[in-house]
Homo-oligomer: A and B are copies of this chain.
């Protein structure tokens, strides 16, 4: 009986796994050097937790399940609600500021397409308790620190930065009622992903008057920050948003990464919970979705029953990133699935028990070692050593009677005789 895998999921054969580990290890290394601590939560939570704040697009894509007690659960589509829940549970004992990272496996019941799978990994970094654009800058720096560490340059990727406060002010000044803002964010977030006529038609449904609708389109088309006050009108909220963005630029310059960044007023982010600086990382050229994105979400912990506390963070999935790194030839070609220090061969079948004994001893001293299950001819064993990428091959022959063996360097071909005891030290 042959059963296929489920569409939108991935099988990680050893080489795929090496690639996945390479990406995830990079995320972890950069998180740690930027001072973040790792955490994780369960794969499933109560369904209602994700319906609370995730935004319509994510809530529609939940994989839900019911347990034997009739509880409605869901596979996590993002980790931020879990993080908020966990922090709220221990908010008084956790030293502030909190800098946490995670690489959760996430699930979205959407139609699989290029760069979008139903099961994927997402790097998350978050800073809680810093009510200062410096934390937003550090989140953006950490994001760029990873992307540049794998070889992406300002010519490959752009970090497009805006402030949710700008958009909120723009829409409010135009006369959009507050309760309509969230559904409009969801539409505006799709601005660059849907055809212009579809966008304008959908916008007309939400904003029937043509004057405010035109202002919204003008705002979405701006790529110069200084033009924004002209379009949206001047007010204290707009001033604050503009000042935050100016400080953010200064900080990113001090950090030496501004050359990766642009202001981009039309950046929205689909999630309902953002409150301040927002950003997305896009590949230059091509049709890829955002590589990652994030922003400030100062109300989220409170929304989940905790205190009012400042928060900012970023998420980056492995699917779009993987495609981008492949396109730019940035995935190392020599990723290996095995790193054998030794392959242990026998010059004669009768030494096979010695092969087993010495392999076991080497492993217990911490060396990676392998051997052939069938004591075949030596040249066949040497070939197997080479296929498995062993650094050295130990050949056990008559010398073993006096506690010696031959060690062959697989790169140089050089052979020398060594004492077994020295090898095991």
Q: Which A residues are closer than 8 A to B by beta carbons? A: 1-6, 9-14, 17-18, 20-21, 32-35, 37-46, 48-49, 52, 63-65, 67-68, 71, 73, 75, 82, 85-86, 88-90, 95, 97, 99-100, 105, 107, 109, 119, 130, 132, 134-135, 141, 145, 148-149, 251, 254-257, 303-305, 337-341, 353, 356-357, 360-361, 363-364, 366-370, 373, 387-388
> Which residues of B are found within 8 Å of A71, using beta-carbon distances?
6
Residues of B with C-beta under 8 A to A86: 11, 13
In the complex, chain B residues whose CB is within 8 Å of the CB of A6: 42, 44-46, 67, 71, 73
Query: Separation in Å of the A312 CB from the closest CB of chain B?
Result: 12
A39: B residues at CB distance < 8 A: 11-14, 17
A18→B119 CA distance, assembly (Å): 25
Contact A303 B1 (CB under 8 A): yes
Residues A14 and B38 in contact, CB atoms below 8 Å apart: yes
Q: Are A5 and B85 in contact (CB under 8 A)?
A: yes
Known: A337-B38, A364-B145. Contact between A100 and B45, CB under 8 A? no
**Chain B residue at smallest Cβ distance from A337:** B37
| A–B Cβ pairs within 8 angstroms, 9 of them | A1-B303, A3-B305, A5-B85, A6-B67, A34-B363, A35-B369, A35-B370, A42-B119, A255-B357
Count this chain's copies in the assembly.
2
Q: Are B1 and A305 neighbours in the complex by a CB distance under 8 Å?
A: yes
Given A11-B86, A256-B360, verify A368-B32 contact (CB < 8 Å).
yes
- A13 & B90 in contact (Cβ 8 Å cutoff): yes
* CA distance in complex: A337, B40 (Å): 13
Contact status A373-B33, CB under 8 Å: no
For A366, list chain B residues within 8 Å (CB).
33
Complexed CA–CA distance, A43 and B75 (Å): 10
Would you call B256 and A361 a contact (CB within 8 A)? yes
Which residues in B have their C-beta under 8 angstroms from that of A254? Answer: 353, 356-357, 360
Q: Could you tell me the distance in whole angstroms from the C-beta of A159 to the nearest C-beta in chain B?
A: 15
Chain B nearest CB from A4 CB (Å) reads 8
* Closest Cβ neighbor of A21 among chain B residues: B38
Collect the chain B residues with CB atoms within 8 Å of residue A40's CB: 12, 17, 20
Given A11-B42, A388-B35, answer yes or no on A2-B369 (Cβ-Cβ < 8 Å): no
A88 contact set on B, CB distance < 8 A:
2
CB <8 Å contact, A89 and B11: yes
Q: For A360, give its contact among B9, B255, B339 (CB under 8 Å).
A: B255
- Inter-subunit contact A85/B3 (CB<8 Å): yes
* Residue of B whose beta carbon sits closest to that of A90: B13
Closest CB-CB distance, A330 to chain B, in whole Å? 17
Shortest distance from the beta carbon of A117 to any chain B beta carbon, whole Å: 10
Contacting residues, chain B, for A38 (C-beta < 8 A)? 14, 17-18, 21, 337
Are B35 and A12 in touch, CB under 8 angstroms?
Answer: no
Of the candidates B95, B256, B367, the one whose C-beta lies within 8 Å of that of A33 is B367
Please give me the residue from chain B that is nearest to A15 by CB atom.
Answer: B37
Q: Give chain B residues whose Cβ lies under 8 Å from the Cβ of A99.
A: 370
Query: Which residue of B46, B251, B373 is within 8 Å of A356 (Cβ)?
Result: B251
**Beta-carbon nearest neighbor of A71 in chain B:** B6
Q: Which residues of B contact A339 (CB under 8 A)?
A: 32
